[in-house]
Structure 1
Amino acid sequence: MTFDQIRTFLWVARLGGFRKAAERLHLSQPAVSTRISNLEQELRVPLFERGPGELVLTKHGTLLLSYAEQMLFVEEEIKQRVANPSEAEGLFRVGAAETIAQAWLPEFLKAFSQQYPRVNVDLTVDISLNLRAAVLERKLDLAFLMGPVSEYSVENVALPPFDLHWYRSTANPQTDLSEIPIISYSSKTRPYRELMSELSRRVGPKLRVYASASLSASLKMIAAGIAVGPYPRALATEFLEAGKIVEFDPGFRPQPLAFTASYLSEPRSFLVENSAEIARDVALFWDQQLLT
């Protein structure tokens, strides 16, 4: 019996299938099947009930799972307290909402690379709805999204929020929200829903809203005088300094954007936990720099 067999068994049990475990472990499906078959032969007991649909643990498989989780926990403890982080290897899958990608994500990746120089990074930039699903499906190890994720299995590390400010083009002084379109985040996001609710009450049937998942494209549309909209000041700095847009007050300001670094708590990974702490520290420093 090898540690690789135990680790493979744990992921097959957690994900409910050989294919998903193969994807998680970056192995072929036959390799995963062989490891489980060899483990069952050595233990002389079946670990899974095989049939149509998701695999189900046998009584012996359930017992082994508890030991496997303990072994993986000890492995993580050794990595955290004994091993040199600079020698860690593997693939780290991180996702980020575009607000984060446009803000402090480069600084995070730099800090992460300094601590884990031999770990490869697979980066995904997407809306928070998709990032949340990817975390729960174990397709991402860590996600910076509009949170928190309300699932018992997810740990959420609070990150500094982004205040929203209204912007218009310097070339177009129109700020009457019943006359000029408002551009906002993707229609599948919480900021969009909250903004629509408030604007519907304040503006009424004359309301026109453009939804865009691209913050850079949205700010360019504002600079071109096509629309107005509320965005984080930190992301509008380039356009403000270039004199292309200016702030204005329509009489209300949307709620700040709340973000979290979210990840599954089990099986425990100190690399992921440390990365969430790195992200929090980087974000706090970046936020403080904006205030000075």
Structure 2
Amino acid sequence: MTFEQMRIFLEAAHFGSFTHAAERLGLTQSAVSVSIKKLEEKLDVPLFDRSGRRLMLTEAGQVLLNEAERILRDVELTMRRVEGRRPVSPSALVACTPSAYDFWMPHLLARDNGPGASGVDLVRGSVNEVAAYVMRGTADAGVTSAMPSHPQFRQVAVFADRLVLCAHPERAQHVPADLSWKSLAEQAPLLWEHGELTQTLTAALVSHHVEPERVAHPVLRLSSSTAVISALLGGHYIGFVADRAAQPWLMSGRLVRIGMLEIPVRYWLFGLREHDIDRFVALFGTRVE
């Protein structure tokens, strides 16, 4: 599969239309259709269900969509990495998981007196993507809430957060002020981020003898702290949210904290052992080895 075929497939998949994909790419509709057909013939599997008015991805098409997005994102990061080595504009790339990217790193880089901030660029990715970027050298360093265990990484604990239980004030009125881990299941279903922080949260629930499957919402499996907060503002649920993300809503009174249940979260800066990550450590002021 060529990069051109990949780009055409992605546009068709995103818009559900060969016509719209053609308009976006400056091609004819027939050129897009032929490209997709040749790709399907090469792979010997249909990528789109063409039976309805709108193109729908098949199971194989969904797999290709996920992989193609990842591949093109890697290519873009590699290009940024190479461009950053231009003598006239040296820069470094730090890959961050969503919570670090959304709620921590921009603030640190925007500080007027932030040491080490000059020439640092950020990119967002999942826990596994961040580790892969650093391992391949695409990123100079990574920041994630999951401590990397690979022996080639050196890691430094740089800041801490916590998951706190929150709800809309009206929903909070129906929750006991002394809510305990033991009685948490009585307030189910609960919301939380099903992504970066899932492992930390589920491990904490299990350690307190709470079965995550019993308290999780059966349908609303939200992938970001922002989405969880949006759902909590609806007033129907309670849920765990990173304190850093929840603070503006807690201060405004649109959300309130429930009880004293909390789960500590630590963030790690890491890089390959042969690389110097101390310039990035300086961004955080303090550190814990």
Shared fold, TM over 0.5: yes
Rate the CA distance shift 1:261–1:155 in 2: closer, same or farther, 3 A: same
Quote the Cα distance in structure 2 between the aligned partners of 1:193 and 1:179: 17
Report what 2:93 is aligned to. 93
Q: Deviations over 1:193-238 (max 9, x none)?
A: 3255358x43687533343331112112112123222223232121
Quote the Cα distance in structure 2 between the aligned partners of 1:125 and 1:204: 27
**1:92 shift after superposition:** 1.4
**Cα RMSD (Å):** 3.5
Report what 1:132 is aligned to. 131
1:230 aligns with 2:235: no
What is the correspondence of 1:61-80 to structure 2 with a 5 Å cutoff? none
Any conservation in 2 of the 1:97–1:127 contact (CA below 8 Å)?
Answer: yes
What is the correspondence of 1:1-292 to structure 2 with a 5 Å cutoff? 26=82, 89-110=89-110, 119=119, 121-173=120-172, 174-175=174-175, 177-187=185-195, 189-195=198-204, 197=206, 201-202=209-210, 206-209=214-217, 210-249=220-259, 252-254=261-263, 256-266=264-274, 268-269=275-276, 272-275=277-280, 277-281=281-285
Letter in 2 for 1:248: I
Rate the CA distance shift 1:140–1:211 in 2: closer, same or farther, 3 A: farther
Quote the Cα distance in structure 2 between the aligned partners of 1:240 and 1:168: 10
Partner-residue secondary structure (3-state), 1:101:
helix
Quote the Cα distance in structure 1 between the aligned partners of 2:113 and 2:92: 11
Any conservation in 1 of the 2:191–2:228 contact (CA below 8 Å)?
Answer: yes
In percent, how many aligned pairs have the same letter?
14
Where in structure 1 do 4 or more consecutive aligned residues deviate above 6 Å? none
Quote the Cα distance in structure 2 between the aligned partners of 1:106 and 1:141: 17
**1:191 shift after superposition:** 2.1
Any conservation in 2 of the 1:187–1:211 contact (CA below 8 Å)?
Answer: no
Q: Deviations over 1:78-103 (max 9, x none)?
A: xxxxxxxxx98423111222322343
Report what 2:26 is aligned to. none
Any conservation in 2 of the 1:185–1:212 contact (CA below 8 Å)?
Answer: yes
Partner-residue secondary structure (3-state), 1:230:
strand
Rate the CA distance shift 1:216–1:122 in 2: closer, same or farther, 3 A: same
Any conservation in 2 of the 1:88–1:116 contact (CA below 8 Å)?
Answer: no
Letter in 1 for 2:278: E
Any conservation in 2 of the 1:222–1:228 contact (CA below 8 Å)?
Answer: yes
Letter in 2 for 1:240: L
Any conservation in 1 of the 2:155–2:269 contact (CA below 8 Å)?
Answer: yes
**1:180 shift after superposition:** 3.8
Any conservation in 1 of the 2:93–2:141 contact (CA below 8 Å)?
Answer: yes
TM-score, structure 2 length as denominator? 0.56
Any conservation in 1 of the 2:114–2:283 contact (CA below 8 Å)?
Answer: no
Q: What is the aligned residue count? A: 197
Quote the Cα distance in structure 1 between the aligned partners of 2:133 and 2:251: 37
**1:158 shift after superposition:** 1.0
Any conservation in 2 of the 1:158–1:280 contact (CA below 8 Å)?
Answer: no
Any conservation in 1 of the 2:165–2:240 contact (CA below 8 Å)?
Answer: yes
TM-score, structure 1 length as denominator? 0.56
Quote the Cα distance in structure 2 between the aligned partners of 1:257 and 1:281: 19
**1:263 shift after superposition:** 0.9
Quote the Cα distance in structure 1 between the aligned partners of 2:105 and 2:270: 15
